[in-house]
Amino acid sequence: MSLILHLETATTVCSVALSYEGKLIALKEENKGFTHAEHLTIFIEEVMQKSNQAFSNLDAIAVSKGPGSYTGLRIGVATAKGLCFGLGKPLLAINTLTSMAFGASLKHNQLKYFCPMLDARRMEVYTALYQKNLEEISPTEALILNDSSFNEKLLENEVLFFGDGAAKFQEICNHRHAKFDFELQPSAANMVGLAYDKYKQQLFEDLAYFEPFYLKEFYSPTAKSKD
């Protein structure tokens, strides 16, 4: 049996899902900015109560591991690890971009290539390129976009760009094979199938050493010296 709680906090979306045997049974999410610290635990409780499930019934906790917002990832992973330690349950970690690509492939199943983009600074995004079967054909990276980005694949076939960083690329990309969907966003619901596969293979994380996949060092602007 597998009753799994899923947490997605890598962006401004705060999303919590509960699944049983790889099927979604409850979902609570909103996208109102970085409100994870205030709402994540409330959403968790609502999902469990809605499903009439006790926390002791959980078989694992799955968390979106990044890349994404430093603060959002830190909150999500800390919450997931706290639940795992307190309940004695294993931790599953899901790549945020892979989860996004899975959701996009369900909505746009006629397309071959999927490119999630999460906003970083200026013209930079966290991104990867996937085939429909979720095979990663361009690795997860922090990429500075230009008008020739992904040209090789765009010459070959249509590519769907989505996520909160895709608008940057639309501004500079005029290729006829470039498709955009700004409604697609990270969701714990899209983690369900990926987490279930990992659970069946017992691909659990080491709770003591697991850290979010930040991809880049945390950046915080500092005030100029008043010499």
Query: Domain holding 17: CATH number?
Result: 3.30.420.40
Virtual CA dihedral for 83, 36, 96, 189, nearest 10 degrees?
80
Rounded mean pLDDT of the chain?
Answer: 94
Asked if the structure places residue 214 within a domain, the reply is no
Note whether residue 222 is domain-resident: no
Task: Indicate if 27 and 89 belong to the same structural domain.
Answer: yes
Q: Does some domain include residue 28?
A: yes
- Which one is predicted more confidently, 226 or 5? 5
pLDDT value for 215: 83
Shared-domain flag, residues 90 and 107: no
Same domain, 101 and 175: yes
* Whole-number pLDDT of residue 225: 38
Name the residue range of residue 50's domain.
3-96+186-200
Mean of pLDDT values over 10-25: 97
The 10s digit of each residue's pLDDT in 29-84 is 999 988 999 999 999 999 999 999 999 999 999 999 999 999 999 999 999 999 99
66 and 212 Cβ atoms separated by less than 8 Å: yes
177-199 residue pLDDT tens: 999 999 999 999 999 999 999 99
> Within this chain, do residues 91 and 23 fall inside the same structural domain, yes or no?
yes
Identify the CA nearest to 190 among candidates 1, 6, 3, 4: 6
The pLDDT score that the predictor gives to residue 217 is 61
Strands (E), 32-132: 60-66, 91-95, 113-119, 124-131
